[in-house]
């Protein structure tokens, strides 16, 4: 090779190498028994979280190094259970930055779901109801994609649903099976937000609350059931069963929200009693088991 050309190539290589002003951001898994499944590092003034930077799961006590320009970043970590750990407006200095993700950093009260780049923030503003299901699909399509999974969104908690830019139809279902449907939700570069409020309900709630009694007595049938207000005498409302309740069966009894006393009697005459149970608008499930025998 021509020596002059060789010297020029070598000088160019030095110049290119010298242009790398990125610094290491080291993420260490300090979660004990849980793998880290996703790592997002994106500018603190940016809405999009960008791509998942983790090529393979990060097992406990191991680390991954990412190259970033010095600056301020949001760092979002998801573990194998999709629990999230969020570190906002982290300053990465010229010498680099090290982060150990610990269980006490769990971002409780916020659920992250979805695979897109832009956030749709959903806040549960219902006082007495939890959110069990969240469906989101492109506007005009059938609602079939459910994002909540095994998670539950309790009152005042938030879910961040990461979606691709577009216009969506969103339906949310609470623990009483009431639905809240939001049409033409535009998820753009600035993200979007939904606050689930009682006035957004699709249909008025049925009056009263439901007490569900489940027979979990193994081999014994429940033959009697009294459910009375805590200020009433036993039997004030009469026998609640219209037929014996065999193991595995259940019965729904509609009552007014308040404090209720309940007593089940099995085929041997043994009783199972629950006193002063508060029943809210969302109802209550009483699973009668042998260890509750009086």
* Average of per-residue pLDDT across 14-26: 72
Which residues sit opposite 193 in a β-bridge? Answer: 121
**Span 150-179, average pLDDT:** 94
* Residues 290, 218: Cα–Cα separation, whole Å: 8
Range name among 10-14, 117-121, 184-188 with the lowest pLDDT average: 10-14
Say what percent of the chain tops pLDDT 70.
94
Whole-number pLDDT of residue 19: 60
3 state SS of 185: strand
Assign 119 a pLDDT band (cuts: 50, 70, 90). very high
pLDDT band at 7, cuts 50/70/90? very low
**Mean predicted confidence (pLDDT) in 279-286:** 90
Mean of pLDDT values over 130-135? 95
In this prediction, residues 22-31 reach a mean pLDDT of 97
DSSP assignments along 70-115, one per residue: SEEEEEEEEETT--EEEEEEEEE-TT-EEEEEEGGG--TTEEEE-S
Residue 11 reports pLDDT greater than 60: no
Mean pLDDT of the chain: 91
- Average pLDDT estimate for 18-34: 90
What per-residue confidence (pLDDT) applies to 13? 42
What is the b/e burial string over 242-261, where b = at least 16 CB atoms within 10 angstroms of the residue's CB? eeebeeeeebebebeeeebb
- Report the pLDDT averaged over residues 42-64: 95
- What is the DSSP-derived secondary structure letter of residue 206? P
pLDDT value at residue 61: 97
Which token pair is 278?
């508060």
| pLDDT at 9 > cutoff 70 | no
Q: Give me the pLDDT at residue 177, please.
A: 87
Query: Could you report the per-residue pLDDT of 212-223, keeping only the tens digit for each?
Result: 999 999 999 999
Identify whether the C-beta of residue 221 lies closer than 8 Å to the C-beta of residue 244: yes
- Torsion, CA 282, CA 287, CA 291, CA 292, rounded to 10: 60
Residue of 80, 75, 76, 83 whose CA lies nearest to 58: 80
Please, what are the domains in the chain? Answer: 3-108 (2.60.40.2890), 111-200 (2.60.40.2890), 209-292 (2.60.40.2890)
Question: What does the alpha-carbon distance between residue 110 and residue 89 come to, in Å, rounded to a whole number?
Answer: 18
Strands (E), the chain: 23-30, 36-43, 63-68, 71-79, 84-92, 97-102, 110-113, 118-124, 131-138, 158-163, 166-174, 179-187, 192-196, 209-216, 222-229, 250-255, 258-266, 271-279, 284-289
Percentage of the chain modeled with pLDDT above 90: 82
pLDDT in tens, 192-206: 999 999 999 999 877
Q: How many CB atoms lie within 10 A of CB 217?
A: 24
């Amino acid at each position: 090779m021509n020596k002059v050309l060789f010297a020029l190539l070598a000088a160019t290589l030095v110049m290119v190498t010298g242009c790398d002003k990125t610094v290491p951001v080291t993420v260490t898994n300090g979660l004990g028994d849980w793998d880290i499944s996703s790592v997002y590092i994106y500018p603190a003034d940016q809405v999009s979280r960008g791509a998942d930077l983790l090529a393979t799961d990060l097992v406990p006590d191991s680390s991954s190094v990412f190259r970033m320009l010095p600056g301020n970043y949001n760092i979002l970590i998801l573990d194998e259970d999709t629990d999230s750990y969020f570190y906002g407006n982290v300053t990465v200095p010229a010498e680099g930055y090290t982060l150990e993700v610990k269980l006490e950093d769990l971002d409780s009260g916020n659920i992250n779901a979805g695979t897109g780049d832009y956030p749709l923030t959903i806040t549960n503003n219902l006082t007495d109801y939890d959110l069990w299901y969240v469906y989101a699909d492109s506007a005009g399509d059938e609602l079939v994609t459910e994002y909540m999974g095994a998670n539950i969104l309790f009152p005042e908690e938030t879910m961040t649903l990461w979606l691709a830019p577009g216009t969506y139809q969103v339906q949310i279902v609470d623990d009483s099976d009431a639905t809240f449907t939001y049409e033409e939700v535009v998820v753009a570069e600035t993200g979007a937000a939904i606050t689930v409020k009682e006035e957004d309900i699709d249909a008025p709630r049925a009056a009263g609350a439901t007490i569900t009694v489940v027979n979990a007595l193994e081999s014994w049938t429940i033959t009697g059931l009294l459910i009375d207000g805590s200020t009433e005498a036993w039997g004030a409302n009469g026998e609640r069963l219209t037929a014996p309740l065999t193991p595995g069966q259940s019965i729904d009894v509609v009552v007014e929200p308040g404090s209720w006393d309940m007593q089940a009697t099995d085929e041997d005459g043994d009783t199972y009693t629950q006193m002063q149970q508060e029943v809210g608008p969302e109802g209550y499930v009483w699973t009668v088991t042998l260890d509750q025998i009086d």
